[in-house]
């Protein structure tokens, strides 16, 4: 059974890089028919907060990254929060068993002693490796210090050989273990370290594959030697490339919003976000716009890149626009209405649901994010005063005046103008005046909206109340035809 885990620390809002890790785990689990476990790594009690765990759950739910076992839906390998596992004494038990088997030892070195060692190594230009003083203490010494309650840590006794592990993305990776200190399993405040908890839990939760960011590569040898010490086969590892800003440094708030839920709030569609994140570091075989099922079936770890993936907000916006364009009028209405500001809701309150549905649909090609709707609808929410002020900035040539006048007479003859009827009016004007399309549509648009661009004109005019357009055209006539 293939079992994967997503193991975030709830010490901040769910970061884009972290959700990409969750997403690749989810995709891989679906691809191979395995299970995905959510484990909350909250051993840092001071920095871990329930609201951050909530934010993790919100981000996962938004992208529909379901898990098979989690704190909320525990399976048989719980608890699924490390703080609860810690309280049950799981890590203490494993630490003591490693001491018993001489794979770990108590270290009573003070911070000052360790600092002095570190400074000495620096002076000699060597990488610092703990001297191992406490590994050589006698049984009596150890017992005396423990009885005296001398502050201490528990360190793992590193073997000295070279360790090579096959990374499913990067191929074989080797570490000379003699260059790695006897690392700390349990800190002096008695809390277990990340590497220790992670290896114990990956073992107890029967994790077969660990997919995580490449910033964890240096932790992997420490976790593998723990598996060896427990006499349990280590999982397979795959380290994903980092997510970078456009300047190729690690993605941070300097580049873009980094919390996943911010993208939801800015008006990105979850399907677009899923698709965009899926190609951040993975190259799909033929096209970039992919349904979730297509991603799942085409995904392979071999096609994950070894070099950093650039997070490009412009591309994400472009992709979001593609997904918005795929929505039906009803879907668009249901998706966009919740992001409309109260001010716009009020300004547009005279439109009924069917008109609003058509109104949103008429501007959909210009939407990159859902919240863009609030500027795009302004053309529908123009007051007479705003119209008149804006109109005064445009001048109309004689030909423009002829076109608009013709339009006014044909338009006023329609009872409830439909988009098709208005298109017919334009065809008539084109025919009568022999002018080009631009020379007809542009002056009519300006006369009706006092704006140079906007939604498809006949759609716009059929959505607006006829009386409102007539009021505007009367203002236009007053201002432009006074010498006629």
Task: Identify the residue among 4, 7, 95, 199 touching ligand GLU (CB under 6 A).
Answer: 7
Which two three-digit tokens encode residue 123?
């002076």
DSSP string, 254-323: TTS--BHHHHHHTT--HHHHHHHHHTSSB--SS-S---HHHHHHH--GGGB-SS-EE--HHHHHHHHHHH
Sole window of 5-13, 240-248, 359-367, 388-396 interacting with ligand GLU (rule: CB under 6 A) = 5-13
DSSP H helical segments within 326-449, as ranges? Answer: 329-336, 342-347, 353-362, 373-376, 384-391, 398-412, 419-433, 437-449
For residues 234 to 253, the per-residue mask of contacts with ligand GLU, x marking binding by CB under 6 A and - elsewhere, is: --------------------
Separation CA 344–CA 359 (nearest Å): 13
Q: How far is the CB of 212 from ligand GLU (least distance, A)?
A: 4
- Helix, coil or strand: residue 184: strand
Q: How far is the CB of 345 from ligand GLU (least distance, A)?
A: 40
Q: How far is the CB of 162 from ligand GLU (least distance, A)?
A: 23
Establish if 258 lies at the interface with ligand GLU (CB under 6 A).
no
Establish if 56 lies at the interface with ligand GLU (CB under 6 A).
no
Residues 289/272, Cβ–Cβ less than 8 Å: no
Which two three-digit tokens encode residue 149?
């309650």
Residue 105 β-bridge partners: 155
Please identify, using beta-carbon distances, which residue of 7 and 277 lies nearer to ligand GLU.
7
Task: Identify the residue among 3, 4, 8, 36 touching ligand GLU (CB under 6 A).
Answer: 8
Establish if 260 lies at the interface with ligand GLU (CB under 6 A).
no
Sole window of 3-11, 118-126, 323-331, 343-351 interacting with ligand GLU (rule: CB under 6 A) = 3-11
Q: What is the CA radius of gyration of the chain?
A: 33
What is the separation, in whole angstroms, between the first and last Cα of the chain? 85
Instruction: Name every residue whose Cβ is closer than 8 Å to that of residue 151 and which is 6 or more positions away in sequence.
Output: 108, 110, 188
Establish if 55 lies at the interface with ligand GLU (CB under 6 A).
no
For residues 24 to 43, the per-residue mask of contacts with ligand GLU, x marking binding by CB under 6 A and - elsewhere, is: -----------------x--
Pick out residues in 189-208 that bind ligand GLU (CB under 6 A). 198
Q: How far is the CB of 302 from ligand GLU (least distance, A)?
A: 21
Sole window of 1-9, 69-77, 432-440, 441-449 interacting with ligand GLU (rule: CB under 6 A) = 1-9
Residues 22/60, Cβ–Cβ less than 8 Å: yes
Please identify, using beta-carbon distances, which residue of 210 and 340 lies nearer to ligand GLU.
210
Neighbour count for residue 223 (Cβ, 10 Å): 23
Sole window of 7-15, 178-186, 416-424, 441-449 interacting with ligand GLU (rule: CB under 6 A) = 7-15
Q: Are strands 243-244 and 104-107 parallel, antiparallel or unpaired?
A: unpaired
Please identify, using beta-carbon distances, which residue of 213 and 284 lies nearer to ligand GLU.
213
Which two three-digit tokens encode residue 372?
């863009």
Please identify, using beta-carbon distances, which residue of 9 and 70 lies nearer to ligand GLU.
9
Q: How far is the CB of 83 from ligand GLU (least distance, A)?
A: 13
Residues 106/134, Cβ–Cβ less than 8 Å: yes
Separation CA 394–CA 447 (nearest Å): 9
Q: How far is the CB of 21 from ligand GLU (least distance, A)?
A: 7
Separation CA 79–CA 269 (nearest Å): 33
Q: How far is the CB of 338 from ligand GLU (least distance, A)?
A: 31
Question: Helices 437-449 and 398-412: crossing angle, nearest 10°?
Answer: 70
Q: How far is the CB of 178 from ligand GLU (least distance, A)?
A: 24
Sole window of 6-14, 136-144, 153-161, 397-405 interacting with ligand GLU (rule: CB under 6 A) = 6-14
394: left (phi over 0), alpha (psi -120 to 50) or beta: beta
Residues 312/246, Cβ–Cβ less than 8 Å: yes
Establish if 216 lies at the interface with ligand GLU (CB under 6 A).
yes
Task: Identify the residue among 20, 103, 155, 212 touching ligand GLU (CB under 6 A).
Answer: 212
Q: How far is the CB of 223 from ligand GLU (least distance, A)?
A: 8
Residue 164 β-bridge partners: 174
Q: How many residues bind ligand GLU (CB under 6 A)?
A: 7
Please identify, using beta-carbon distances, which residue of 9 and 362 lies nearer to ligand GLU.
9
Q: How far is the CB of 221 from ligand GLU (least distance, A)?
A: 13
Q: How far is the CB of 303 from ligand GLU (least distance, A)?
A: 21
Instruction: Name every residue whose Cβ is closer than 8 Å to that of residue 266 and which is 6 or more positions away in sequence.
Output: 257, 369, 371
Q: How far is the CB of 20 from ligand GLU (least distance, A)?
A: 12
Residues engaged in binding ligand GLU (CB under 6 A): 7-9, 41, 198, 212, 216
């Amino acid at each position: 059974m293939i079992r994967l885990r997503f193991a975030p620390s709830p010490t901040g809002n769910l970061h884009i890089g972290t959700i990409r890790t969750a997403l690749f785990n989810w995709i891989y689990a679906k691809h191979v028919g395995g299970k995905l476990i959510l484990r909350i790594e909250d051993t840092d009690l001071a920095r871990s907060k329930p609201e951050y765990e909530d934010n993790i759950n919100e981000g996962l739910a938004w992208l529909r990254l379901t898990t098979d076992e989690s704190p909320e839906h525990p399976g048989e390998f719980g608890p699924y929060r490390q703080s609860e596992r810690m309280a049950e004494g799981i890590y203490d038990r494993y630490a003591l068993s490693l001491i018993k088997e001489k794979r770990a030892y108590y270290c009573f070195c003070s911070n000052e002693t360790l600092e002095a060692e570190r400074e000495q190594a620096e002076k000699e230009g060597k990488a610092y490796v703990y001297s191992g003083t406490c590994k050589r203490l006698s049984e009596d010494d150890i017992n005396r210090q423990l009885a005296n309650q001398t502050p201490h840590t528990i360190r793992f006794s590193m073997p000295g050989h070279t360790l090579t592990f096959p990374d499913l993305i990067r191929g074989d990776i080797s570490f000379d273990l003699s260059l790695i200190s006897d690392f700390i399993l349990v800190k002096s405040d008695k809390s277990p370290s990340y590497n220790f908890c992670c290896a114990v839990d990956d073992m107890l939760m029967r994790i077969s594959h660990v997919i995580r960011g490449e910033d964890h590569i240096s932790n992997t040898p420490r976790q593998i030697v723990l598996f060896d010490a427990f006499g349990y086969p280590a999982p397979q590892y795959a380290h994903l490339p980092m997510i970078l800003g456009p300047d190729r440094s690690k993605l941070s708030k300097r580049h873009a919003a980094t919390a996943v839920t911010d993208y939801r709030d800015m008006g990105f569609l979850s399907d677009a976000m899923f698709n965009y994140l899926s190609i951040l570091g993975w190259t799909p075989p033929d096209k970039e716009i992919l349904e979730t099922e297509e991603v799942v079936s085409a995904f392979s770890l071999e096609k994950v890149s070894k070099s950093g993936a650039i997070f490009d907000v412009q591309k994400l916006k472009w992709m979001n626009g593609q997904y918005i364009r795929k929505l039906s009028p009803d879907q668009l209405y249901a998706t966009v209405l919740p992001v409309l500001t109260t001010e716009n809701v009020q300004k547009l309150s005279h439109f009924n649901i069917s008109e609003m549905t058509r109104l949103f649909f008429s501007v959909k090609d210009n939407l990159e994010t859902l919240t863009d709707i609030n500027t795009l609808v302004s053309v529908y929410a123009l007051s007479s005063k705003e119209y008149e002020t804006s109109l005064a900035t445009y001048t109309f040539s004689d030909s423009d005046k002829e076109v608009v006048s013709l339009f006014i007479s044909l338009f006023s003859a329609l009872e409830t103008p439909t988009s098709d009827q208005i298109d017919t009016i334009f065809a008539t004007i084109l025919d009568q005046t022999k002018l080009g399309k631009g020379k007809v549509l542009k002056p009519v648009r300006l006369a009706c909206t006092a704006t140079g661009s906007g939604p498809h004109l006949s759609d716009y005019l059929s959505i607006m109340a006829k009386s409102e357009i007539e009021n505007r055209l009367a203002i236009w006539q007053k201002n432009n035809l006074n010498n006629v």
